[in-house]
Amino acid sequence: MEATRFAKRLLFFLPLLGAAAAINPYSGASAWLGPGAAFFAVATYARLGALALGRRGRDEALLALECLPFLAYGAACLGAAEPAGLALFLLSSLALWAFLLSLEDLLAPKAIGFSLVLADAAAFALAAAALDRLPPAATVGGGAACLALSRYAAARRRP
């Protein structure tokens, strides 16, 4: 069983490693794609991975957190090359990501399935567009405020 767990987790990371090997700072991909594309790809893949590995709630959030290095690498290759810009992008991404996971937990705590992944992917695409188009202060602040509100609602709902 241990070996199966090890293999499953390694298989989960392999596509991310492959994608990281395919892009690099000199590929010129940043001319067509922004760092938001890295967020969309990593977040959607992590959601799919959570579905495949049967993760929900805190476990899903931890799985998402383990994808952070790949997100940082992708964002740096796709335009967020300055340290401050990358830090703000990662903060914004984490805030929006946590908000969307929290919202999902709030609205559909028991739901699981591919249709939910599709809905999440659409939400991630919107978040990615916001990350590429809005100023970082707005995405960090907005994401954090939305996250706080959703956690507050979850706390109120809890018996």
How far, rounded to the nearest angstrom, does the alpha carbon of residue 107 sit from its chain's CA centroid? 19
Q: State the number of CA atoms in the 13 A half-sphere of 154 facing the CB.
A: 18
Count of residues of this chain found to bind other proteins when the rule CB under 8 A is applied: 41
Nearest approach in angstroms of CB 140 to other proteins is 17
The single residue listed with the structure tokens 């992944």 is 117
Question: Quick one: DSSP state of residue 94?
Answer: H
CB of 70 vs other proteins, minimal distance in Å: 6
Amino acid type, 40 = F
Of 54, 83, 84, 114, the one binding other proteins by CB under 8 A: 83
Q: How far is the CB of 62 from other proteins (least distance, A)?
A: 5
**Which residues does 42 contact at the CB level (< 8 Å), separation at least 6?**
16, 67, 70, 71, 74
Q: Does 73 bind other proteins (CB under 8 A)?
A: yes
Which residue in the set 52, 59, 111, 135 belongs to the binding site for other proteins (CB under 8 A)? 59
CA nearest to 39, candidates 21, 62, 64, 60: 64
Residue 28 found at the interface with other proteins (CB under 8 A): yes
Among 48, 51, 66, 116, binds other proteins (CB under 8 A): 66
76 binds other proteins (CB under 8 A): yes
Which among 38-46, 55-63, 118-126, 139-147 is the span making contact with other proteins, rule CB under 8 A?
55-63
Residue choice 43, 71, 95, 147 for contact with other proteins (CB under 8 A): 71
Q: Are 43 and 124 in contact (CB under 8 A)?
A: yes
**Residue recorded with tokens 């956690």:** 151
What is the crossing angle of helices 136-157 and 114-133, to 10°? 140
Site residues, other proteins (CB under 8 A): 1-3, 5-10, 13-14, 16-17, 20-21, 24-26, 28, 30-32, 58-59, 62, 65-66, 68-73, 76-77, 79, 81-83, 86, 90
